[in-house]
Amino acid sequence: MRAIVVRRYGAPEVLEAHQVPDPQPKPGEVLIRVKSVGVNFADLLQRMGVYPGTPKPPFVPGLEVAGVVEKVVPSTTKPGGDQSLKVGDAVAATTPFNAYAEWVAVPARLVHRMPPGMAFDDGAAILINYLTAYHSMFTMGNLQAGDRVLIHNAAGGVGIAAVQLARAKGLITIGTAGSTKQDFLRKLGVNHPVDYTRGDTVGTVRKYAPDGVEMAMDAIGGKSFRESYECLGSTGRLVVYGFSSIAGADGKRNPVRAARALLQMPRFNPMKLIEKNVSVIGVNLGGVIGKPGLFESELDEVLRMYAAGKIKPVIAKIFSLDQAAAAHHYIHERKNIGKVLLH
């Protein structure tokens, strides 16, 4: 089969198309013929060799797909996942670093039948982004109707998911993006769009929430973590789920840039957290996937909301599998509004 292989860490150009052996599903796994692949910022960090748990090269990157079940191999030990899956089912799946390929073999517990009428592109765009946002906001953050949430990069995949989920749950949104994406934020329904390029993001947020927000969602890192923390009010939660500031527009590893971002990151003193009555929450979706009951309950709610028309992924651009490097450049250059996919 054809797959995109990372033979060495580096810039997007290290993503190379190769013929590799077809995957052979083991007991308890499902073979999927891939229709659509979700491209996440985590994939960019995998390619650079800075994402936690990334295999040593060579490896096939990517964390989520949608496609058609080709084969189901029952477990020889204990059942797992949806035991009713059968050949021909349209499914979405999270994958362990092997999504950029024509076929993937995935543990059955990570494969989920898509709701009737869901397009493959939506299936490939919903798992990572919407589950990250949902877990952050409602499981870890316990947000309630009327709460105010600051969403950084509100025009990105997780950002759009967070805005849509917030609207569905009656939250007030403050969303940041560059100047060219402000109109999109308004159309998306962000209550208070903020152009971070104009400076003084904290002051602008405080105009809309003088006593501070109940949650700030930040995957930027560096000094942005400090600014987000300053936007919190009493009982506020800072959710950190990424560190995109270490990746520049050229897509190359830059030790100086990474060191600067790390030095700008605040140190959170437990006594200060107590004094301010706030919390800092780290979110890694891999840890959620490792808890089957929690993962399935959150996914069921996200898919229910999709079926009810309350949420729907925004697709920024679709590239062919062989254009994976171009897709990564597109995200590095912060051009995307919504989800980037590979076909």
For each of the chain's 343 residues, which pLDDT tens digit applies? 999 999 999 999 999 999 999 999 999 999 999 999 999 999 999 999 988 889 999 999 999 999 999 999 998 765 555 668 999 999 999 998 899 999 999 999 999 999 999 999 999 999 999 999 999 999 999 999 999 999 999 999 999 999 999 999 999 999 999 999 999 999 999 999 999 999 899 999 999 999 999 999 999 988 999 999 999 999 999 999 988 887 777 777 777 777 887 888 888 999 999 999 999 999 998 888 888 889 999 999 999 999 999 999 999 999 999 999 999 999 999 999 999 999 9
183 and 59 assigned to the same domain: no
The whole domain housing 267 covers 144-240+242-282
121 and 161 assigned to the same domain: no
Cβ neighbors of 66 (< 8 A, separation 6 or more) are: 34, 35, 36, 38, 90, 91, 92, 93, 114, 120, 121, 122, 123, 124
Quick check: is 295 in a domain?
Answer: no
**Domain tally, the chain:** 2
Tokens of 288: 């959620």
8 and 117 assigned to the same domain: yes
**CA dihedral angle for residue 7, residue 9, residue 12, residue 18, rounded to 10 degrees:** 10
153 and 108 assigned to the same domain: no
Give the C-alpha separation, 278 to 236, whole Å: 5
Quick check: is 178 in a domain?
Answer: yes
Tokens of 113: 């039948």
The CATH number for 199's domain is 3.40.50.720
Quick check: is 309 in a domain?
Answer: no
Backbone φ and ψ for 151, nearest 5 degrees, come out as: -115, 110
31 and 71 assigned to the same domain: yes
Last residue of a domain, one of 282, 306, 333: 282
Q: Which residues on adjacent β-strands are paired with residue 16?
A: 5
116 and 156 assigned to the same domain: no
Quick check: is 335 in a domain?
Answer: yes
114 and 203 assigned to the same domain: no
Tokens of 298: 């959150």
24 and 114 assigned to the same domain: yes
The CATH number for 329's domain is 3.90.180.10
Quick check: is 138 in a domain?
Answer: no
Quick check: is 130 in a domain?
Answer: no
Q: Specify the pLDDT at position 290.
A: 83
148 and 278 assigned to the same domain: yes
107 and 183 assigned to the same domain: no
Quick check: is 287 in a domain?
Answer: no
Tokens of 58: 């060579």
Quick check: is 180 in a domain?
Answer: yes
Reported pTM: 0.93
105 and 152 assigned to the same domain: no
58 and 182 assigned to the same domain: no
